[in-house]
Amino acid sequence: MAIYHLTAKVGSRRNGANARSKAAYITRQSEYAWRRDLVHAESRNMPSWAHGHTDFWAAADKHEAVNGKLYYELEFSLPKELTKEQQLDLVRSFLESRCRVTDVAGVLPYTFAIHDPRQPHVHVVINERAFDGQDRAPDTWFKRAHGGGARKTRTMQPKAWLHETREAWADACNHALQKAGYGVRVDHRTLEAQGVTDRLPAPHIGAKAWAMEQRGIQTERGDRWREVQDVNTSMQELREVKQEIAEEMERMGQEHGQRRLDEYTKEELDNLSLEAVDALYEAEVERNTRGEQEQEQQMRGGHQVKSFQEFREHYGIDDDQVAVEEYQRYKEQLEIFGNIEESKDCETERWKRIRFTQTKKLPRM
């Protein structure tokens, strides 16, 4: 299934970063050529003097100010559901949109690479100096703007840029998945923000720890990842058991109610009070009027109660059980339900000879 992962780092001289080495690492060149997980690598928006990404990032190491930022690095996972061509199109469109800035003229130079060891993912390094189309020598490019250097964008400095980038990547992935015909979606929000309380977030293992795990060497990150996977598996099994119990309880409740109703023999119905008979009849009519005829046919063996007379005949309720003074109430109810003939039948002389016997109430279901 598609998973969401996006992290950002800043490479500067202060933290000992090296732009050329980072670019060589993600593109699997020079000292990293032995790695065999590279799928694709390319650079965009480079100045004319940079004949390859190596020239550009080596110049950044050489000419960028001592306290300057050499690059911004993004790492994000790709949806496994997409083909390699679809993944590449997704990465290109996403990076082009994120490297098109508005506070300065031009676009940001960047180099990206797709790796696919087990989970396809992307590494990208972005320079904050915008390429505005002007020809500059390498040493001039990295000077201050008032000295003729390429202007720096300020949009990447606030944390808001990272939040916007995370959301933008989720939107781009979901659009690509929908376009490819997949129903799965990713969410950039934390599990807590999503309202998910029955699953733990999986920790990131990292390339070094994963390589050690592949060689059979257990790592602290690997142990933590396995612990979280075990907990999430147990919680998933618990959710499934709870669902099964809820479905079983619902089924048992329905069967129990039907069984209790089926157990009412003629003798038991003879003992029902007028209020109980009235309640059963009203329940029958209400269920029928809600459009549940098919369900009632199954519960009654294909029989549907349409009038009180038919109701009494179906359940074997004798005329002697119903009091004369109560039939005015039935007449009013039947008129409401639209059965005029039955209402008129209530007025015939035979109902005046009926006697009433008080009996016990219907037991609870």
Kindly report, residue by residue over 186-224, the tens digit of the pLDDT: 888 876 676 666 667 777 777 677 778 778 888 888 888
Indicate whether 360 belongs to any domain.
no
Indicate whether 61 belongs to any domain.
yes
Residue whose structure tokens are 């320079």: 127
Residue 132 tokens, joined: 């505005």
Look up residue 223 and give its amino acid.
Answer: D
Q: Are 123 and 46 in contact (CB under 8 A)?
A: no
Domain boundary among 263, 284, 299: 263
Segment of 37-41, 133-137, 296-300 carrying the highest mean pLDDT: 37-41
Q: Which residues are registered as beta bridge partners of 77?
A: 121
DSSP codes joined into one string, 270-290: HT--HHHHHHHHHHHHHHHHT
Assess whether 101 and 174 both reside in one domain.
yes
Q: What is the pLDDT of residues 15-63, one digit of tens each?
A: 889 999 999 999 999 999 998 899 999 999 999 999 889 999 999 999 9
What are the residue numbers of the active site? 25
Domain of residue 289 covers 271-353
pLDDT at residue 141, rounded to an integer: 93
Residue whose structure tokens are 């009494």: 312
Q: How many CB atoms lie within 10 A of CB 330?
A: 19
Indicate whether 311 belongs to any domain.
yes
Quick one: what percent of the chain has pLDDT higher than 70?
A: 64
Rounded-to-integer distance, Cα 130 and Cα 113, Å: 21
Q: How many CB atoms lie within 10 A of CB 100?
A: 12
Rounded-to-integer distance, Cα 56 and Cα 27, Å: 14
User: Three-state DSSP class for 15?
Assistant: coil
Instruction: Domain count for the chain, please give it.
Output: 3
Assess whether 166 and 277 both reside in one domain.
no
Assess whether 200 and 319 both reside in one domain.
no
Domain boundary among 170, 188, 206: 188
Assess whether 277 and 150 both reside in one domain.
no
Assess whether 303 and 219 both reside in one domain.
no
Residue 267 tokens, joined: 């003798």
Please tell me which residue, 30 or 118, carries the higher pLDDT value.
30
To the nearest whole number, what is the mean pLDDT of the chain? 76
Indicate whether 222 belongs to any domain.
yes
Q: Are 235 and 207 in contact (CB under 8 A)?
A: no
Q: What is the pLDDT of residues 148-194, one digit of tens each?
A: 999 999 998 878 899 999 999 999 999 999 999 999 888 888 766 76
Look up residue 188 and give its amino acid.
Answer: H
CATH of residue 159: 3.30.930.30
Q: Are 60 and 71 in contact (CB under 8 A)?
A: yes
Q: What is the pLDDT of residues 250-294, one digit of tens each?
A: 777 666 665 655 555 444 555 545 555 555 555 555 555 554 445
